[in-house]
Amino acid sequence: MKKYIFNTFYTLLILSGLCLQSCTELDLTQKDAANSGTWYQTKDQFRQSLNESYREVFWPLDEVYEGMDDDWQRRDVLNAIKAGNVSSEYAKSNTDWSNLYKGIARVLVVVNELENQTVLTEAESSQLLGEANFLRASFYSYLITHFGDVPFYEQELTVDESFEVARTPKEEIKLKLYEYYDNAAATLPVSYNGLQYATKGAAYAMKARLALYMGDFQIAATAAENCINLGEYELYEDYAELFEPTTKNSKETIFHIPRNTDLNIIRNDNVRDFLPRNHGGYAGRNPTWELLASYECVDGLPIDESPLFDPQNPFKNRDPRLLATIAPFGSLEDGDGLEPDSGSNFMDIEYNPHPNAKLVRDYENNIDIRNQDTRSIGAFAAFNGLLFKKGVTKDWKDYRTDPDLIIMRYADVLLMYAEAKIELNEIDQSVLNALNTVRDRAYANSPFTNPEITTTNQAELRYKVRNERRAELAFEGRRYMDLIRWRLAEKALTGYTYGLLNVTADANTDTPPTGPLMDNLVDKDLWFWGQTPQIDEDGLPDFTDLLNAGYCRTLNVTTFPERQYLFPIPEEDRLLNPNLTQNTGY
Amino acid sequence: MNQPAIRNCLKVNFFKFKIPVHLVLVVVMVILAQEKIFAAVSDFSIQNDAQSFLITGTVLDNTGVPLPGATVMEVGTSTGTQTDFDGKFSLNVSSEDAVLKITYVGFLSQEIPIDGKKEIQVNLQENVSSLEEIVVVGYGTQSKKDITGSISVVKGDDITSRNVTNVSNALQGAVAGVSVTRSSSAPGAGNTINIRGITTLQGDSSPLILVDDVPVDNINDVNPDQIESISVLKDGASSAMYGSRAAAGVIIITTKRGKEGIYKVSYNGEFIMNTPTESRKNVSVTRYFEMDNEKAWNDNGNTGVEDPTWASDYIANYDANHLLDPDQFPDTDWKDLILNDASYGYRHNIAVSGGSEKIKSSFTMGYEYQDALYDNSNWRRYTGRLNNDVKISDKIGANIDFAVKLTTNNNPVIDPTELALNSGPNYAAVWQDGRIAGGKSGENAYAIVQSGGFQKSESYLFYGKIGAYYKPTDYLKLSVNLAPNFNFNKYKFFNEAIPYYDFDDPNQTGVPAYISGHNASQNYLLENRTNDNTLTTQALINYDKDFGKHALSGVLGYEEFNADYETLSVRGNEFVSSDYPYLNQAPLDGVFDNGTTISENAYVSYFGRMAYNYNDTYYLQANVRRDGSSRFGKDYRWGSFPSISAGWVLSNEEFMSPLSETISFLKFRGSYGSLGNDRLGNYLYLSVLQFSNALIANGSNVEAVRSAAQRFLAVEDVTWETTISKNVGLDLSMFNNSLSITADYFVKDTEDMLLNLSIPSLIGYEDPTVNVGSMNTKGWELALSYNNSIGDLRYSISANVFDSKSVVGDINGKRLISGNVISEQDKEFRTWYGYVSDGIYQTQAEVDNSPVTSAAVRPGDIRYKDISGPDGVPDGVINELDKQHLGGSLPRYQYGGTLNLNYKNFDFGLTVQGVGKQSFYLAQNYIRPFLYNWQAVNSIYDGNYYSNYNTPEQNAQAEYPRLSESSSSNNYRFSDFWLKNGAYTRIKNITLGYTLPASAIPNAPFTSLRVFASGNDFFTFDSLPDGIDPEQQSGYLITKSFILGLKANF
């Protein structure tokens, strides 16, 4: 028995020794991440925290797959915006909302830490704070222009507060945002040696955009003027080249988010969907006929007034920016020898949607290939014959391309300045100069010269500047908010989307196409447009006459109900926070 | 940013003791002290007094097979021995009138008077009631009759008789309270296992799985053939020994060990054929065109031509044209092309076991192969296990167990099932000359399966347990165990570019287009290496002693657990060719990190159990476990989890003796226990900054700079969630143990529940993990079994049914929304949450006169009820405020049953499993026509939808909404319109076997040979639309299996 006790005790000693000494370490921390308790100790750490807000995810564009304005359409499919059925479950508004608030929270952490820090110099601290103000003002700007009144906070919310916070009127918020931009403009440098973070010019320009969207024309004009007066920016010489992936951070760029294929950050909106089918794309996202119709002729007149317009050659004698924006076909200018059934070289393959063009030229290999981009071959070739071209080069062919995401460029500032001054009815030479500077560049590399704007009539200029914005900024994500703030969305986005008449799709190149497209249009030598569409007093084209004449067909019925002038407050946040009211009509 | 406590309640913790080791010592001292007190009574030896009467005998089972190792004792003395290999024994007894008691595990013990005989033969009867069965409980064993908690046991034979690859499949319907949910039948696919419902909102609710007392990740890593038994610990008292990790229940797998005796070898082999239980069927290509036209016409306001997309002539001539030129006029049966009629597999298992008194070993080895329903996919699993029991002396011994598992899985880069079932028929997959076609603008699952690259995974698992024990006395055992678990995974994903050319370009001279996701630049390789290592160390003291009518047993233990997990992930882009899928063939600047991760966690635990019974009639048991978890902050990481249980065997009471003919055994039991759960992420309390990259211009260059951000809110005082589990039950055996009934009622209350609090996204952070709220789960279980025989026909029937319902308690008024389900206070956990449908609009007037979701709504769209608004009353608008609870989403009233028949050499088994109530969501990928604008149309939709071509009477009968893309956000938003009755009953398994006795063949090399045919999931009864299996989720189809097998013993 004694032995048992001894042995037991001995074993227990070993066991308990094991317990007390080799106790497993329970203080484990994540080895591959930092800890907020030990962060914000060096300048680099502050810098890295602010870097976060320069990621593309926090800079949404008003672009969606199926198009949310009258510049884009996707075959016969509608996004909720144009179908008129945006609801609080609408994916885009919900994603933008949560991403922008993430951006705001991440900036606020830095703002708060800057107040208590002891490691930065005054200059370093105020530079970072200026940047932080620029960033949060930009995030909030998007929110109030799209959602109207939103929760606004300058200190991080606690969890409990997030369940209770109510919406602040956008008129109050915007005043704060102007202050943020002013602070940013006061503290940020005009330019950097090295990494290009937000600048003074960016703060002025973004403030101008917010003010313009909010209808504060005086503030907008001043901010735009401040930006112009920096003398830092000028227009890039070649409009078409400006948007190409190889043009990085041009002298026209005021604020942008870079992309880089080698660093695996690419344009991620499924570019394959709008490339030509002859290049393996889907030709699914199409510029609208309305956009094609809205460009002026080279005499400065709208197409329904200009004697230069030819509905059978819709790209002929048009504002050169059209040819850089939509892939052209047919004759392009008088005497070029091209006919309505001709195509144009686009990425080394002829682009030609004409139903008789069943073969097109592959200029690279010098052969004729079957034309997948005409509907007489492929049923899913562009439904309206139009393809996106702006900035598209051959390196888009593998669907990985890295053009800069331009948030703000100088041409926009000039147009904002002009618009604000026009709305203020302070029309002077500086307004006309701003407009004509933009137009001069547009015509710079073309056989035509800018038909200068000379009128000083407010209404005429309003028409001009609005159309100028549409032409200059197409597919840059600005058209949607322009329609919203001009209260034109109901008109522009209610009606139909249009497309080419039907034609039989037969891949056999020897079989002549048949169908209403041939009978009503091609065989009567009326391709591409049977007649000239009318342009109304707001610059919006109208295809009713063509439809009634049987020259085209409608693809969808579009509706933009009045409620959609604001996005709905996201469903999930409303279900969680009872103090969040909903926008009218949702 | 750290958040202050959300929990306000102040807790008094009775079980906080700082240095429990001291307590361990105290308890041991008490044990040793009382040993002195009882020393007189307990002095025990096997030595004989001067005896003169020698008896010899043989112990056999009821079929005449010798039972080695049976215990033979003279009643009233301590004289005893054990039978040898041949079941023989000899024993000196005190007199000719001595009575022998013979006991053997799994058999009824017998008392035999010698009556002066020199030699006797004893035939033990198998104990069908299994009350004497030894059950593995936490860190020890107990006799089934002594159990006071709620524990179910499944024998290894019942697992292997299901003929399945995965243990979890075999548990489906086998145990009351255990719910096993499949989602696919892909080779090697796992299942969701829940024990007695769900007690945590967002934490891991899978049970703790132990193999021979060592935690493992996956129940399916164990070859079913290696299993001796499975214990399922269901209530708090049973699983409290595993405290912190046991809130979701515990499954203990015990593997086969060698028995003393001659070495035995057995082989079993099976051939398996799998075919889908159901699959979707689609409308013909011409009907597809017609319906597509109707859709476009509807979306154009029913104006203009009615064949806007596909001209009428084109459709009319299509079938004829298809015969003339299938390339230009494709009619592709994607399902037939991609999915095979059946998949095949086989498995082989070999087991060798036996041993001497000193060393007993069991070695098992298994190999299994399965291919899939589509090409280029197969799965292999090799398993091996060697269990050794080494006895050095009566007091010292060791167990040395090793197990290995290797799984290889080869697959194409996608699971093509969904696309095989859904691709539109008018797109060509291959041209007539065999070249790949573009499918739908590059969407071609067939091309991807055939030539899109491959993915390959290899998973190596080495685990085992080395234990040494010391028994200073026969009632005290001290042991230490060391159980490492090394898991290595190697995964390779190679994506190949797939060019395709036009049908009339057979020489491929033109410009190629590429299959989606397989562009010219998308030759890339992804390599992952994962190391997942755990180490469990244990020190245990087991005590078990009878003092007359008092019996006392206990366990004291200490355990440490460490886990570290590291993944290396590298991607190489822009491979020049696909010939060498290795990273060194990627261009230098094309190789980069693809999400390397590292994490760790650890536990330290102290635990103890004390069990007492008086006269096998009154039982009392107490457990306590104290755990420290690395997942919580220093001041919040320790939690104590006590439990207590009691039992009363009524049938042992005097006053029940008149009923003993009828009632063989009756026990009431009750238990109360507290359990913990911490499984919701590793660094919950730390405000972690995650790194990423931002691009910033530098002149006209672009640089990647590091960015850092805290993405999740951290809550410093996050700590254990606790589940209090209460259980009452009874075990009843009647008619000489032929009928047995087990019934249980349980209540589980979870407090301080860990959950990712859904916070408004306007706060700018992802949801934090906090201890908020409570949940209540109530349920019951009933299990019956009956065994009997009619002449040579022996039969047994068993059935079980159970139900549980979890209701969310106070979660600070928050609502947790996850897709289409919501969890909120006083409502069932995971309730469907959506709009309430009100049929289909028949006329424009109906649309005009009711609130609609948008202006796009037309007759033929689904109508919803306007239930609420900002002021709590209908507001004339259909929006998120009109969403309602649409009933629970989890299965209810689950049941299972078996019937086994044995007649002479034939055996027959039937297993049934089912769900009594379930609300099944008919997902869009199954029912929605023209999904993504090009996918096929389910044939059950055709003829059953609202259409302008129908008569008003036909439309009134329409089951589905009109064809429309513009209204799809109205029609396919989540509502009760798409919820169907998902109750089902399945014949899980039917087996017919024949055992060829060795005597049937002269000089047979085997001792027995059984051949059998078996079918799994052959019949299913449900009320869902055709083509969908009630267990089917998206992806790989649920299959039924036909199995032929043989098993030989040597």
pLDDT tens by residue, A524-552: 999 999 999 999 999 999 999 999 999 99
Residue B620, min C-alpha distance to chain A (Å): 26
How far apart (Å, rounded) are the C-alpha atoms in residues B767 and A88?
Answer: 20
**Which pLDDT score, from 0 to 100, does residue B12 have?**
33
Please tell me which of the candidates B311, B629, B697 has its beta carbon nearest to residue A258. Answer: B697
Chain segment B961-1013, per-residue pLDDT in tens: 999 988 888 899 999 999 999 999 999 999 999 988 777 777 777 888 899 99
- Phi, psi dihedral angles at A525 (to 5 degrees): 55, 35
What global pTM score does this model have?
0.79
**Which residues on B lie below 8 Å from A399 (Cβ)?**
519, 521
Q: Name the residue among A26, A379, A516 with its Cβ closest to that of B637.
A: A26
Distance CA A158, CA A150 (A): 17
Closest alpha carbon within chain B to A106:
B709
HEC string for B751-786: ECCEEECCCCHHHCCECCEEECCCEEEEEEEEEEEE
Give me B227's structure tokens: 């299993």
One-letter amino acid of A306: S
Q: N- to C-terminal Cα distance for chain A? A: 85
Nearest to B216 by CA among B518, B500, B419, B486: B486
Contact A28 B880 (CB under 8 A): no
Report the C-alpha gap between A185 and A224 in whole angstroms. 12
Which of B472, B596, B764 comes nearest A4 by C-beta? B472
pLDDT confidence of residue B15: 34
Average pLDDT estimate for A318-342: 95
- Judged against a pLDDT cut of 80, whether residue A412 lies above it is answered with yes
Q: Is the dihedral of CA A387, A392, A395, A399 positive or negative?
A: negative
Interface pTM, i.e. ipTM: 0.89
How many residue contacts between A and B have a Cβ separation below 8 Å?
A: 363
Largest CA distance in chain B: 114
Q: What is the pLDDT of residues A78-137, one digit of tens each?
A: 888 998 888 888 899 999 999 999 999 999 999 999 998 889 999 999 999 999 999 999
Q: How far apart are CA B956 and CA B964, in angstroms?
A: 18
A194 touching B, CB under 8 A?
Answer: yes
The reported pLDDT for the residue numbered A7 is 56
pLDDT at A20 over 80: no
Q: Which residues of A touch B537 (CB under 8 A)?
A: 18
Contacts of A423 (CB under 8 A, 6+ apart): A217, A462
Q: Is a pLDDT exceeding 70 seen at residue B38?
A: no
Rounded CA separation B506/B509 (Å)? 8
Which pLDDT does position B127 carry in this prediction? 63
> Sorting pLDDT into bands at 50, 70 and 90, what band is B39?
very low
DSSP label at residue B625: E
Flag whether residue A15 sits within 8 Å of chain B, measured between CB atoms: yes
What values do phi and psi take at B458, rounded to 5?
-130, 130
Task: Look over chain B and give the mean of its residue pLDDT values, rounded to a whole number.
Answer: 86
Q: Is the CB of A559 less than 8 angstroms away from the CB of B855?
A: yes
pLDDT of residue A4: 54
Judged by DSSP in three states, B251 sits in strand
- According to DSSP, the residues that pair with B572 across neighbouring strands are B525, B591
Among chain A residues, the shortest Cα distance to B539 is held by A15
pLDDT at B507: 86
Chain A residues in contact with B24 (beta carbon < 8 A): 12, 16
State whether residue A95 sits within 8 Å of chain B by CB: no
- The confidence band for B29, taking pLDDT boundaries of 50, 70 and 90, is very low
Q: Which residue of A has its CA nearest to B567?
A: A32
Adjacent-strand bridge partners of B744: B729, B781
pLDDT, tens only, A428-470:
999 999 999 999 999 998 999 999 999 999 999 999 999 999 9
User: What pLDDT band is residue B112 in, cutting at 50, 70 and 90?
Assistant: confident
B829 in Cβ contact with B818 (< 8 Å): no
C-alpha distance from A177 to closest chain B C-alpha (Å) = 18
Chain B residues touching residue A31 (CB < 8 angstroms): 598, 600
Burial (Cβ within 10 Å: 0-12, 13-18, ≥19) of residue B680:
buried
DSSP string, B422-468: HS-TTS-SB-TTS-B--TBTTB-HHHHHHHSEEEEEEEEEEEEEEEE
- Read off the pLDDT of residues B474-513 as tens digits, 9 standing for 90 and up: 889 999 999 999 999 999 999 999 999 888 888 887 778 8
Closest residue in chain A to residue B934, using alpha carbons only: A380
What confidence score (pLDDT) does residue B5 get? Answer: 42
A123 touches chain B (CB under 8 A): no
Structure tokens at B888: 């629970």
What is the Cα A414 distance to its own chain's centre? 18
Distance CA B635, CA B451 (A): 56
Q: Could you tell me the CATH superfamily of domain B134-260? A: TonB-dependent receptor, plug domain (2.170.130.10)
- Range of weakest confidence among A205-209, A370-374, A401-405, B68-72: B68-72
What confidence score (pLDDT) does residue A89 get? 83
Q: Give the burial class of A409: count Cβ atoms within 10 A of its Cβ; 0-12 exposed, 13-18 middle, 19 or more buried.
A: buried
What is the pLDDT, as a whole number, of residue A389?
A: 95
Read off the pLDDT of each residue in B332-352 and give the average, rounded to a whole number: 94
For residue A317 the two structure tokens come to: 């004698």
Cα B418 to chain centroid, rounded: 24
Length of chain B: 1050
Mean pLDDT calculated for residue range B369-395 = 93
Pairwise CA distance, residues B415 & B419, whole Å: 9
Name the closest residue on chain B to residue A507, using Cα atoms: B328
**CB of A380 less than 8 A from some CB of B:** yes
Q: How far is B837 from chain A (nearest CA, A)?
A: 17
- Mean pLDDT score, B696-721: 87
What CA–CA distance (Å, rounded) separates B787 from B736? 10
- Chain A nearest-CA residue for B602: A26
Distance CA B900, CA B920 (A): 32
Give the residue from B640, B652, B645 showing the smallest Cα distance to B610. Answer: B645
Render pLDDT for A67-78 as a digit per residue (tens, 0 to 9): 899 999 988 788
Q: Whose CA is closest to B717, among B682, B761, B769, B655? A: B769
Instruction: Quote the pLDDT of residue B863.
Output: 95
Does the pLDDT at position B634 exceed 80?
Answer: yes
pLDDT digit string, tens, across residues B822-853: 988 899 988 999 999 999 999 999 999 999 88
% of chain A at pLDDT higher than 70: 96
Considering only CB atoms, B702 lies closest to which of A97, A260, A370, namely A260
The residues of chain B that CATH labels 2.170.130.10 are 134-260
The residue of chain A with its CA nearest to that of B816 is A576
What's the pLDDT at A6?
54
Assess contact for A200 and A176: CB atoms under 8 A. no
Pick the more confident residue, B984 or B871: B984
Distance from CA of B354 to the nearest CA of A (A): 31
Does A367 contact chain B (CB < 8 Å)? Answer: yes
DSSP string, B403-425: EEEEEEEEE-SS--HHHHHHS-T
Range(s) of chain B covered by CATH 2.60.40.1120: 48-124
Per the prediction, chain A carries an average pLDDT of: 92
Q: Which domains does chain A have, with CATH numbers?
A: 41-68+89-232 (1.25.40.390), 271-403+501-551 (no CATH)
pLDDT in tens, B793-814: 889 999 999 999 999 988 877 7
For chain B, what percent of residues have pLDDT higher than 70? 94
Q: Look at B509 and B297; give whichever has higher pLDDT.
A: B297
Contact between B561 and A27 using a beta-carbon 8 Å cutoff? no
Residues B385 and B365: their CA atoms lie apart, in Å, by 7
In the CATH scheme, what is the homologous superfamily, with its name and number, of domain B48-124?
A: Carboxypeptidase-like, regulatory domain (2.60.40.1120)
Nearest to A280 among B513, B765, B973 (CB): B513
User: Using one digit for the tens of pLDDT, what is the confidence trace for B1003-1047?
Assistant: 777 888 899 999 999 899 999 998 999 988 888 999 999 999 999
A494 in contact with B at a CB cutoff of 8 Å? no
Are B630 and B601 spatial neighbours (Cβ–Cβ below 8 Å)?
yes
Chain A residues closer than 8 Å to B967 by CB: 85
B788-798 burial code (b ≥16 CB/10 A, e <16): eeeeeebebbb
Nearest CA in chain B to A563: B854
User: What's the pLDDT at B983?
Assistant: 95
Q: What is the pLDDT of residues B434-450, one digit of tens each?
A: 999 989 888 999 999 99
State which amino acid sits at residue B981.
Answer: N
* Tokens, residue B54: 């020698």
Cα angle, residue A357 at apex, residues A352 and A363 outer, rounded to 5° = 60
Residue B871: is its pLDDT beyond 60? yes
Whether the bond between A528 and the residue before it is cis, its omega within 30 degrees of 0, is yes
CB contact under 8 A, A98 and B761: yes
> Which residues on A lie below 8 Å from B687 (Cβ)?
35-37
Decide if pLDDT at B49 tops 60. no
